[in-house]
Amino acid sequence: MYQTTRRIYFILGLCTKKTRKLQQRYYFYRISLILIFILIFTIFSTISLNQSLSKSDYSNILLNHDSNATVILKNYNNQSIHHIYVDIGCFNGETIEHFIHFTPNSVLYDIITFEPDPFNYEICKKQLRQQKYQNHNIIIIPKAAWIRDEKVPFQIDRGGKSRIDLSNTNQTRLPMLDAIDFSLWLSRLIQSNNTKLDIKISIPGAEVKVLQKMLIDETLILAEKWIIEWADRSDSRTRPGRIYVQLMLDSLGYSLEYSTNLHDIRKVFKMNGTEGDIKRYYDWKKVPEGDIYCHYIQRPTVIDPPRTTKSRAKLKKF
């Protein structure tokens, strides 16, 4: 009888232990499921919040985007040469920093740059408002350099690849940003024969149209030096126009002296080097496409062209 009773208690004890283990496992699985659910909910909430913040930030940037920046030339003197540097395509401001670093007496220049992408504009503005640039007159115009004064579909928030969308596929889904007739704007800006003007143009896919318009308006000759990034070199649709502009540059007295690579420029800039330390390429066609700048300089044998021109842009449509 005693042994039977012990066996019964032993069996009951085993059942109790198994029940407790099952209960513990049940609680463990339940807690695990709750934690997994919380984690998933947190991830989705974070993603949604970031998306909403991005849209909100973009809206705020557009609302606060100063599209009427005033150009005030501070370094002009009737008795001296007036130096102006125009950078079309500021991106994050680094090309302006490179110009200031590598150009002797860059503080004497009025520096004007165009950057229509509202995200890039904010970065560029922050970068160029640093204390070390306070003595430089830098004007940032938040508009696209184009062939007409109008709104243009623009691919934004793509860093250095932001651009006017010249295709007809995405235009309904893209924001419409302000653009100006750069040729007409430049003809109004340059008012003195003593002006020495350098222009860097980096507007992927639109540089050919802008330069063609300037050839028609006879404003391309206002610059002594052109630094041009020829984008989409393999595009058969833009190649004829590009070749035409290159031939016209030569006929107007500009020689392609050399090409530089943005990667090389960054490297020398970080090392606090000089312009002479930047590697130069003398056959731009053999250099891989992307961030290659062609330096066109007016030949000294050519009679210096007038630095002012009566604007014909008003009379012509492009």
Assess whether 101 and 249 both reside in one domain. yes
Q: What is the total count of domains within the chain?
A: 2
Are both 45 and 131 inside the same structural domain? no
CB of 199 closer than 8 Å to CB of 88:
yes
**Residue 46 and residue 15 in one domain:** yes
Please indicate, yes or no, whether residues 4 and 148 belong to a single structural domain of this protein.
Answer: no
**Same domain membership, residue 135 and residue 284:** yes
Q: Are residues 95 and 200 in the same domain?
A: yes
Cα 190 to Cα 188: distance, rounded to the nearest angstrom: 6
Q: What is the pLDDT of residues 233-283, one digit of tens each?
A: 878 888 899 999 999 999 999 999 999 999 999 999 999 999 999 999 998
Assess whether 24 and 125 both reside in one domain. Answer: no
Which of residues 31, 64, 97 is at a domain's end? 64
Q: Which of 49, 64, 79 is the last residue of a domain?
A: 64
* 223 shares a domain with 160: yes
Q: For the segment 6-45, what is each residue's pLDDT rounded down to a tens digit?
A: 554 444 454 555 555 555 665 666 666 665 655 554 444 4
47 Cβ contact partners less than 8 Å away, ≥ 6 residues apart: none
Q: Are residues 55 and 116 in the same domain?
A: no
Q: In what order do the strands lie in the sheet with 195-201?
A: 137-141, 109-114, 82-88, 195-201, 225-228, 292-298, 254-261
Q: What is the pLDDT of residues 109-138, one digit of tens each?
A: 999 999 988 888 999 999 999 999 999 999
To 10 degrees, the CA torsion angle through 216, 256, 277, 81?
Answer: -50
Assign 105 a pLDDT band (cuts: 50, 70, 90). Answer: very high
Task: Determine contact, residues 176/150, Cβ cutoff 8 Å.
Answer: no
CATH number at residue 191: 3.40.50.150
pTM for this one? Answer: 0.73
Q: Which domain holds residue 5?
A: 1-64
Among 9, 40, 64, residue at a domain's last position: 64
Q: Do residue 93 and residue 227 come from a single domain?
A: yes
Q: Say if residue 10 is in the same domain as residue 38.
A: yes
Same domain, 225 and 299: yes
More confident call, 272 vs 303: 272
Q: For the chain, how many residues are written?
A: 318
Q: Are residues 113 and 87 in contact, defined by beta-carbon separation less than 8 angstroms?
A: yes
User: Which pLDDT tens digit goes with each residue over 171-192?
Assistant: 568 888 899 999 999 999 987 7
